Amino acid sequence: MPQRIVAGNWKMHGSRAFSAGYLKSLEGGALAGLGCDVLLFPPAILLPLLSTPASDLGIELGVQTVHPEPQGAFTGELAAEMAADAGAVWTLLGHSERRQLFGESDEDVALRALAARRAGLKPMLCVGESLAERQRGDADAVVTGQLDAVLELLGDDLASGGIAYEPVWAIGSGETASPEMAQAMHSMIRGVLRRRSERLAEMPILYGGSVKPENAAALFSENDIDGALVGGASLDPAAFLAIIMAMETHGNP
Ligand code: PEP
């Protein structure tokens, strides 16, 4: 049975004061004894501050991307080794904002995945089609291509992490894929992984795209939806906690 995960992507939001208040509101046993893992992907500069209190609450931290190289003349970039040194356990890879706004190709994402594993980080590989690709009937092919590019380089080692299916048209838009639509894609992804190995087929597959407390339960009731990658709603600790509780109540056992 795949591990269940609820993950929050803060994107480029947060500060020292915000971080302290956020973790304070999760204190008091709210996260004790959960059946799912809770991850946060804050801006990397907040990792040293968050590392100890997050770990005390049982939360694992990650970064939002890593550079392929371990060091060098890459002004403004962050090596996977540095992220691990600052307290990251995970990294997002291939988030659609990285692909669209920063030009990360499937090949770049695969090289970053390799760097993540070199540094011992768990990869959370984001895949998803644009609206135009879905309307053309290319959604499955696009997502399969994004998966294959990383699987060619990493093989079974990708199984140390997770997959986040995030249809680009649902991210930050208020639009959510229906639970049935998401389940169909998750099942397709599981098939791609199973054709490679049983170990890969056991990977957690998260859904992302305007997940909120109101729609989480229906998504988590689907067989192949093992969790959520939450953007906007993860900035509100009460909403994030409500999504975690929806996973506790409605997620697959
Ligand atoms: C994301 O950033 O991964 C995401 C899914 O954002 P949102 O929940 O805001 O759509």
Instruction: Say if ligand 1 is within 6 A of residue 231 CB.
Output: yes
Tokens in use for 234? 């993860």
The pLDDT, as a whole number, for residue 78 is 98
Find the farthest-apart pair of alpha carbons in the chain and give their distance in angstroms, rounded: 49
Q: Please, where are the H alpha helices in the chain?
A: 16-25, 47-56, 80-85, 96-101, 106-118, 131-135, 139-154, 179-196, 198-201, 213-220, 237-250
The pLDDT, as a whole number, for residue 253 is 63
The pTM score is 0.96
Ligand 1 atom 2, closest CA: 231
Instruction: Say if ligand 1 is within 6 A of residue 208 CB.
Output: yes
Catalytic-residue membership of 248: no
- The boundaries of the domain holding residue 92 are 5-250
Q: What is the pLDDT of residues 66-112, one digit of tens each?
A: 999 999 999 999 999 999 999 999 999 999 999 999 999 999 999 99
Ligand 1 pocket test, candidate residues 6, 97, 166, most atoms within 8 A of CB: 166
**Separation of alpha carbons 188 and 207, rounded Å:** 13
* Domain count of the fold of the chain: 1
pLDDT-flagged residues of the chain (< 70): 252-253
- Give which of 243, 217, 220, 218 is closest to 230, Cα–Cα: 243
CATH of the domain at 215: 3.20.20.70
Is-contact 164 208, C-beta < 8 A? yes
The pLDDT, as a whole number, for residue 30 is 84
